[in-house]
Structure 1
Amino acid sequence: MTEYIEKIEILISNFNKETIDALDRITVIEHLKKGEILLYQDEICRKSQLITQGVARKFFYSDKKEVTTEFFFKNDTALSFKSYIHQKPSKEIIECLTDVTVETVNYTAFEVAKKQFPQLVEYDILLTELYAIWLEDRLFDFHTLSAKERYEKLLKKSPEYFHHLKLTHIASYLGISLETLSRIRAKI
Structure 2
Amino acid sequence: MTEHIEKIQALISRFDKETLEALDRITITEKLKKGDILLNQGEVCRKSHLILDGVARKFTYADKKELTTEFFFKDDIAISFKSYINQNPSKEVIECLSDVMVESVDYKAFEIAKQKFSLLMEYDILLTELYIIWLEDRLFNFHALNATERYEELLKKSPEYFHHLKLTHIASYLGISLETLSRIRAKK
What TM-score bracket applies, with the shorter chain setting the length?
over 0.9
- TM-score normalised by L of structure 1: 1.00
Superposition pairs of residues 113-152 of structure 1, within 5 angstroms: 113-152=113-152
Report the Cα offset of residue 47 of structure 1.
Answer: 0.4
Report the Cα offset of residue 121 of structure 1.
Answer: 0.2
Letter in 2 for 1:163: H
Matched, 1:72 2:94: no
2:161 is matched with: 161
In structure 2, C-alpha distance between the alignment counterparts of 1:36 and 1:123, rounded to whole Å:
28
Superposition pairs of residues 1-188 of structure 1, within 5 angstroms: 1-188=1-188
In structure 2, C-alpha distance between the alignment counterparts of 1:144 and 1:119, rounded to whole Å:
37
Give the match's secondary structure for 1:163: helix
Report the Cα offset of residue 27 of structure 1.
Answer: 0.3
In structure 2, C-alpha distance between the alignment counterparts of 1:172 and 1:6, rounded to whole Å:
31
In structure 1, runs of 5+ residues without a counterpart are none
In structure 2, C-alpha distance between the alignment counterparts of 1:53 and 1:136, rounded to whole Å:
25
In structure 1, C-alpha distance between the alignment counterparts of 2:138 and 2:47, rounded to whole Å:
23
State the superposition RMSD in angstroms. Answer: 0.3
Report the Cα offset of residue 156 of structure 1.
Answer: 0.7
- TM-score normalised by L of structure 2: 1.00
Letter in 2 for 1:74: K
In structure 2, runs of 5+ residues without a counterpart are none
1:59-102 deviation per Cα after TM superposition (whole angstroms, max 9, x unaligned): 00000000000000000000000000000000000000000000
Report the Cα offset of residue 12 of structure 1.
Answer: 0.3
Count matched residues.
Answer: 188
In structure 1, C-alpha distance between the alignment counterparts of 2:161 and 2:155, rounded to whole Å:
9
Report the Cα offset of residue 22 of structure 1.
Answer: 0.4
In structure 2, C-alpha distance between the alignment counterparts of 1:143 and 1:96, rounded to whole Å:
28
| Identical columns (%) | 77
In structure 2, C-alpha distance between the alignment counterparts of 1:119 and 1:109, rounded to whole Å:
15
